[in-house]
Each structure stands twice: as C-alpha cells, then as structure tokens.
Amino acid sequence: MPELPEVEVTRLGLVEPLEGAHLLALHMGKPLRWPLGIAPQALAGACIGRLQRRGKYLWMPLLPRRAAVDGARPGSEAAAGQETPGLLIHLGMSGSLRLEAQPTPAGVHDHVQWQTDRGWLRLHDPRRFGAVVWSPGRDVGPAARLLAGLGVEPLGPDFDAAVLRRGLQGRRVSIKQALLAGDVVVGVGNIYCSEALFEAGIDPRTPAGRLGPQRCARLAEAVRDVLQRAVQAGGSTLRDFRDAQGHDGSFQLQARVYGRDGQPCRRCGATLRRIVQGQRASYFCPGCQHR
C-alpha cells in the first residue's frame, strides 16, 4: 500500500507541473472506493492549484476559470477567507498517479484521467481501493469527514516526543498497532513502522502506554528520520507503486529489518524475526529491540 512517503513522492513529482494547469476534462472509468460526488463535466475549465498532502491523502484545489483569470489562485491570499473546492485523492492499496506529456491509450487499470493543457494525469489502480472525491473545500464536506481523526503529521513542526507520549499514554495495545492506527501520528505504514522501531531499539510488542520520555524521544526521531530517508529514496516499491514519472522507489533496498526475517541483524548479528500483529507482519531484532 502506498504510505506517506509514496504519497509525498507523488506530490513532489506533480506539484510544479500541475500548478496553474487548466483541467480540460475529467474522464472516469470503473467505479472506485467512493463515488466522485459531482458530474465530471462540471469540473472542465477549472484551474489546478498547488497540490497538498494530509497523511496519505492528496488534496487538489480547483479554482473556477473566472476566478483564475481574475488572479486568485487556490491557496493564495486572494482566495483566503473562502473555501476552495477540489478533489481529495487516495491511492488505496495499489494506486499510483502518472503524468504523461502526450496521451497514450488508457490501460485496463487506468480508472481516472485528468486531461489538462499540460498533459494527462492518470490514476492507475489494479485493486480499485483508491478514490477521487470532490469536496466544496478541504475543511468542509466529504474532505473534512475523511480527514477527521488523523493524527499529527510526522514530518511537520508539531510532531515531537511530547506529542507522541501524550498520544500513547493509557494505551494497552502494542506500540506497533498504536502507530499503525494513525490517530496519534499519521502515515507511518507497516514497513516504516518496523524500521523506526528498530532504529529506536523498541520491541514492536511493547505496550504503547509503557513508553517513557526517553523511548518516546528516540522513537519520534526515528520515525522522522526513516520517513525522510524514504522520501529521498523515492518511497518503496514492493509491488505496484511508481512515482509520477513512472520510476520505482528504492527504500525497500535499504530496509534493515523489514522482509529480512531469518537473516542476521546488520547491527548485532542476531537472527531477525517475523511475527503477525493485527494481521500485519512485524519484523524485528530480538537482540537490538527491547520491551
């Protein structure tokens, strides 16, 4: 599943090429997880604003052509004080967005296509768990409902050890499951959770509420470091993910524990283990990670 690094890599690859582009038509294929919520033809002529990310969602502001001609840009001071409509995009289990300068025949798994004056943007989603949902604003309507309850952004200025510890206090579930829940800190997916817990020296089975200030400080730093390195590596391509230019991510090649069960730990030499927590595989080193 595309996690926060993959979504951020996608955003970085699209933000400059698409900002200010005009949407000529939106073509919908097979139904996705949720309906679009508006007639596709109603969006023709809109100006695409600066792509934003919240957790594993992308927000594409759409400014009507008249307002764009008048100089207002989605997210700009001219548009301040009023909600800007747009599309909330989720890549689901297997989705990726690809921008093509010249149109090519759509594939069987290309379920949404943005035809713009700067090229074609396509959502490729073999398992169709992704979504493109229209909303009258990011903070109102369907977007607000879907984004409600998300935890703090791990790459943002508000995330630190104190925030993490407050969110974990009183939780009896394992720290691995608490991180994956996404209501304390958002977007730390399975591969990155395993890697961050290894970096912090914390056993994934440790009850979340037992983490004190020092371990929370190590874990917060590890989460930020792992996610930043993953973005720099273009994310992880385990099966389907490609960036906006069609390239694979390479972070999976740097993984120290994820997918390496039965192999020696590169730090201490102990044999790495795999367990299942909440139907998700966890990888850890019994020599380096402690409860």
176 is catalytic: no
Residue type, 59: W
Of 11, 53, 56, 165, catalytic? 56
Q: Which helix (H) or strand (E) holds 48?
A: strand 47-48
3 included as an active-site residue: yes
Single-letter code of the amino acid located at 65: R
CB atoms within 10 A of CB 39: 11
Dist. CA 120–CA 25, nearest whole Å: 10
**Residue 280 annotated among the catalytic residues of the structure:** yes
- Cα–Cα distance measured from residue 135 to residue 157, given in angstroms and rounded to the nearest whole number: 27
Given 171, 210, 267, 280, the catalytic residue:
280
Helix extents (H) in the chain: 4-18, 65-69, 141-147, 161-168, 175-181, 190-200, 213-232
Give me the catalytic one of 2, 17, 61, 85.
2
Annotated catalytic residue 2: yes
Using alpha carbons, select from 180, 167, 286 the residue that is nearest to residue 216. Answer: 167
- Active-site positions read 2-3, 56, 280
